[in-house]
């Protein structure tokens, strides 16, 4: 039986780590066309990493060659069958030993570019009981209407992080900086049975290793933050099937991680948010049923109450799109398009619950 998480609290950490060494790990699977931009952004940091290592995982393209031509180290995974988490575990095992506890490890996706201040702000944020610093991510240009909707979604998520005083509820895989000590303690906690997920740094049992490792860090007693300067630009899905697959993995992984951790002080807020998501699905469903019923009667009644409800909904969409640009706010004001995207998200939520109830296996594959 797993021991109570309260026994897994991390030790007190020192203050500023401004003089710490930073090692950047960039896991990549067939990212030859994108990894150059990611590496260039790392080189352009106002506080650049001392070491950049590309983790080439079962690549069949020129990813490793492009990385070597960019002048960075390349390590290739060996017989890895566990996707990104397995490749990272192999690389961290090889690279962590020479690092002191106060050194930092940046792990970022190969399809992501960091703003120049990212590392400097992440290092400054590593004070007190902060165990890891995550990114605030925005969507790259392109992708048509679907890309625009994702950029709106990411903009709103960034506003939510700011509203929570820049607490990171997910150490997103786009880019996260860990203390070396934190990574060591996560592995030891897994070995000791204090948390699940295998015997290494990243869980091999989770569909969403970034969400799971966030809960691991916080279960150990550390805070996780996303400072306003730690911004990144990342890929958007360009087709509905790709977006569906991505969001199913995110949602199903989040639910399964909560199931595996159970109800604790750390997971309680996450469970509450999933419950609120369920209520929002129910509320929107009832609203649509009522609207269809009213129209089917042939006597639509635009009562002031329902007009006000619709007005508040549109206003909220437009206001929360602020910062994404005027065109995005206009898009947010077209209620039908945003409503369709919300229904898509709700369908992902319901399908994830259904698949979990049926214990249907969800397979992770690169997109």
Residue among 135, 126, 72 at smallest CA distance from 101: 126
pLDDT digits (tens, 9 = 90+) for 140-197: 999 999 998 999 899 889 989 999 999 999 999 999 999 999 999 999 999 999 999 8
pLDDT confidence of residue 270: 95
Q: Is the pLDDT of residue 15 over 70?
A: no
Q: Is the pLDDT of residue 97 over 50?
A: yes
pLDDT confidence of residue 319: 66
Band the pLDDT of 101: cuts 50, 70, 90: very high
CB 145 within 8 Å of CB 35: no
Band the pLDDT of 361: cuts 50, 70, 90: low
> What is the average pLDDT across 291-295?
72
Q: Is the pLDDT of residue 214 over 90?
A: yes
In DSSP notation, 253-277 reads HHHHHHHHH-S-TTTHHHHHHHHHH
> What is the average pLDDT across 230-246?
96
Runs of H (alpha helix) within the chain: 35-43, 63-69, 83-95, 118-125, 144-163, 180-191, 209-219, 240-261, 268-296, 304-320, 326-333, 335-357
pLDDT confidence of residue 11: 45
Band the pLDDT of 283: cuts 50, 70, 90: confident
pLDDT digits (tens, 9 = 90+) for 26-40: 999 999 999 999 999
Residue among 272, 311, 143, 339 at smallest CA distance from 302: 311
Instruction: Classify residue 21 by burial, with Cβ atoms within 10 Å: 0-12, 13-18, 19+.
Output: middle
pLDDT confidence of residue 259: 93
**What's this model's pTM, rounded to 2 decimal places?**
0.86
Q: What is the mean pLDDT of the chain?
A: 87
CA-to-CA distance for 1 and 242, rounded, in angstroms?
38
Determine which of 45-49, 130-134, 149-153, 242-246 has the lowest per-residue pLDDT on average.
Answer: 149-153
Percent of the chain past pLDDT 70, that is, above it, reads: 83
Q: Is the pLDDT of residue 10 over 60?
A: no
Band the pLDDT of 261: cuts 50, 70, 90: very high
pLDDT confidence of residue 39: 97
Band the pLDDT of 336: cuts 50, 70, 90: confident
Taking phi over 0 as left and psi of -120 to 50 as alpha, with beta for the rest, 208 belongs to beta
pLDDT confidence of residue 4: 42
> What is the average pLDDT across 121-131?
95
pLDDT confidence of residue 308: 67
pLDDT digits (tens, 9 = 90+) for 318-335: 666 676 666 666 676 677
Q: Measure Cα distances from 152 to 39, 99, 243, 290 in Å.
A: 26, 39, 15, 28
Name, in order, each residue with C-beta under 8 angstroms of 271's C-beta and a sequence gap of 6 or more.
258, 263
């Amino acid at each position: 039986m797993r021991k109570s998480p309260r026994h897994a609290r991390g030790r007190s950490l020192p203050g500023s780590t401004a003089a710490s060494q930073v090692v950047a790990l960039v896991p990549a699977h067939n990212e030859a066309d994108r990894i150059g931009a990611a590496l260039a952004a790392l080189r352009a940091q106002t506080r650049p990493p001392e070491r950049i290592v590309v983790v080439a995982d079962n690549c069949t393209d020129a990813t490793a060659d492009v990385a070597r031509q960019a002048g960075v180290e390349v390590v290739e995974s060996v017989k890895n069958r566990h996707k990104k988490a397995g490749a990272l575990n192999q690389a961290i095992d090889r690279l962590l030993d020479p690092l002191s506890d106060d050194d930092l490890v940046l792990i970022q996706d190969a399809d992501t570019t960091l703003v120049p201040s990212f590392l400097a702000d992440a290092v400054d944020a590593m004070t007190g009981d902060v165990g890891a610093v995550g990114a605030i991510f925005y969507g790259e240009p392109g992708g048509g209407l679907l890309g625009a909707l994702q950029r709106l979604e990411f903009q709103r998520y960034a506003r939510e992080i700011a509203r929570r005083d820049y607490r990171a509820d997910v150490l997103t895989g786009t880019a996260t900086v860990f203390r070396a000590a934190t990574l060591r303690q996560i592995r030891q906690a897994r070995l000791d049975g204090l948390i699940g997920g295998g015997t290494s740094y990243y869980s091999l049992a989770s569909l969403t290793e970034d969400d799971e490792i966030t809960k691991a860090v916080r279960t150990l007693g550390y805070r996780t933050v996303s400072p306003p300067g730690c911004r990144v630009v990342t890929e958007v899905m360009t087709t509905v099937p790709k977006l569906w697959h991505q969001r199913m993995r995110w949602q199903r992984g989040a639910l399964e991680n909560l199931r595996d951790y159970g109800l604790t002080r750390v997971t309680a807020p996450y469970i509450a948010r999933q419950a609120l998501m369920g209520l929002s699905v129910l509320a929107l469903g009832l609203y649509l049923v009522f609207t269809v019923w009213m129209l089917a009667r042939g006597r639509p009644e635009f009562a002031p109450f329902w007009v006000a409800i619709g007005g508040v909904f549109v206003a909220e969409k437009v206001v929360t799109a602020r910062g994404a640009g005027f065109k995005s706010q206009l898009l947010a004001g077209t209620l039908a398009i945003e409503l369709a995207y919300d229904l898509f998200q709700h369908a992902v939520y319901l399908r994830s619950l259904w698949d979990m109830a049926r214990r249907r296996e969800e397979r992770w594959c690169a997109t």
